[in-house]
Structures are given as C-alpha cells and as structure tokens.
Amino acid sequence: MTESTQRQKILWILGTILVLFYALIPVLWIISLSLKDPTTIGDQKFFPTKWTWDNYDAVFSGGLGFNHALFNSIGIAMITTLIALVFASMAAYAITRLEFPGKTLILAGALAISMFPAISIVGGLFNVWRVVGLYDTWPGLILPYLSFSLPLSIYILSAFFREIPWDLEKAAQMDGATGAQAFRRVILPLAMPGVFTAGILVFISAWNDFLFANVLTSTDASRTAPVALSFFRGASQFTDPSGAIAAGAVIVTIPILIMVLIFQRRIVSGLTSGAVKG
C-alpha cells in the first residue's frame, strides 16, 4: 500500500489508536484498581481518586502467602524452562540432523500431546502423585509443565535448527578447529536465538498455568502465584479483597510484560515458526 489517500490515512490512524485502547485498557484498569485506597475502592471510577501503596504492602506482608507463591512460581518456571530446553534441543538436533526410524512417530506424538486437554490428565496425575509423594511438590508441577512444553519447544527448535548452515561446522574443523571448538564458536551462536525464543515461550506457559497448579498443590510449599491470587480473601469477612487481588495481579504480570516487551521480536518469530507450517 504505497499510495494511500488522506481519508485512508486517517482511518488507519484511528485504527491504531483503537488497537492501543483495546490492548491497554484492561491492564491500566487493574493497575489503577491496585492503587486505590480501601475507602474509595468502591467508587466505581476508572482512575483512583486517592493513591496508596497499601494494597501492595498487604500483598507482600506475608499473611496471604504471596511471597512464597511468587518464589514457587519463579523457581518452578525457571527449572521447567531449563530442563525443557536441554531435552528439546537434544531431540530437535536428532530430528533435524540425524536419520533414524521413529522420527515421524515422535513428531506426530508431540503434536498429539500439544492438543491434549490438561483436564484429561490432571485427574490421573492427582491420584498417582499422592501415592508416589509428588503431590504438592515442585517436581509434581515441573513434570506436567515439561510434558506440555516439550512439544512446542521441539517444534520451534526444529524449525530454527533447520535454518542453521551446519556445513559451517565442518568448514571450521577443516580450518583447524576441534569438534568442540567448532560447535561452541560456530554452531552455538547460530542456535542461541532459537533456544532463547523457545525458552521465553516455555517460561510464559509455565508461569501462566492455573489448572495443574490448582489441582496438584495444597499448601505454600508449591502453590504458584496465580493460584495464590485466586485464594485471596479479605482480612475479615467484610473486607473486599479486590485491591489486594489487583496488586497481586500486577505483580504477577509485570515480569512477563517486561520480558515480552524486551524480546518481542523473538516471541513473534517463535510463535509463527512454532505454529504456522504453511
């Protein structure tokens, strides 16, 4: 669209503004609600009339178990990401670089698993985890997160690995580099963007989960932040927990938002390469 008329231009500018509104209003609302003073939280206004950090103090004070939940969320999501990346890179390397029977089966199986509804396996896990002692533990959540993020990361990494000019490895070795050197200096830098992209998406999906965390945890030992948030109650039966919920929601969202905004290019490329196979 090289030549656009004045009217079209105005239309697209309006469209842009609408898109911005659409994307940002709910987030601005939850931030604004989190800053409202308890006495004015029921004023039904979009912006706070009286600003306060009280809600954040309440969330971090410990009574709601949010600190621990945040720690659980971070730890579980990071460990999941690390293990998923190691396992998925190994598998994706084999799939893109090696010939072996069973390749199609693995890819088809991974695709099928990526479609599994979580609710269908959570009951079985609930029962098994209680027997084997994984119920309400970190590994008890990391394992299902892994099984659901491996298919996506294998697909993304395979897509990225296929684009790597692997002959460079041989060329480097001809020039006198050892196998390890060739891998570290030549292949690794080329593979890192893909690994990084997959890592971000795995972290986001683990951070985002609610169903597994809601069913497979019962105490502060492993309850993650989204679940802790859903358990927020007012200090007494008559206190409205909305302010605290909003503050907690903002805290849960901010790390992901920062990550998403810094790495937006990578996320977009990861989403498209992982899902669109035209």
Partner 1 sequence: MAVAATQAGQPAAPAPSTGLTDRARQERKLAWLLCAPAVAVMTLVAGFPIVYAFWLSLRRSDLRFPDASEFIGFSNYSAVLQSTTWWRDFGNTMFITVISVTLELVLGMLIAQAMYRAIFARTAIRASVLVPYGAVTVVAAFAWRLAFDPATGFAVNLFNLDPPPLTTHNGSMVIIIFAEVWKTTPFIALLLLGGLALVPDDLYKAAKMDGASSWQRFVKITLPLIRPALMVAVLFRTLDAFRIYDAVFIITRGANNTESVSVLGYNQLVNRLNLGLGSAVAICIFACVMLIAFIFFRFLGASPERR
| Subset of residues 78 to 137 that bind partner 1, contact rule: CB under 8 A | 85-91, 93-95, 98-103, 106-107, 109-111, 113, 115-128
Closest distance of CB 172 from partner 1, Å: 14
Nearer CB in complex with partner 1: 71/116: 116
Q: Residues with Cβ < 8 Å from 186, sequence gap 6 or more?
A: 168, 169, 172, 177
Token output for 4: 């656009």
38 binds partner 1 (CB under 8 A): no
| Subset of residues 180 to 219 that bind partner 1, contact rule: CB under 8 A | 180, 183-184, 187, 204, 207-208, 210-211, 214-215
Cα→Cα distances 107→153, 154, 184, 258, 276, Å: 12, 8, 27, 33, 15
- 266 in the Ramachandran plot: left (φ > 0), alpha (ψ -120 to 50) or beta? alpha
Which value, in Å, is the radius of gyration of the alpha carbons in the chain?
A: 23
19 binds partner 1 (CB under 8 A): yes
Closest distance of CB 115 from partner 1, Å: 5
35 binds partner 1 (CB under 8 A): no
- Count of residues near partner 1 by CB under 8 A: 106
| Subset of residues 146 to 165 that bind partner 1, contact rule: CB under 8 A | 146-148, 150-151, 154, 158-159
1 binds partner 1 (CB under 8 A): yes
Dist CA 108 CA 37 (whole Å): 53
Chain-centre distance for alpha carbon 272: 16
139 binds partner 1 (CB under 8 A): no
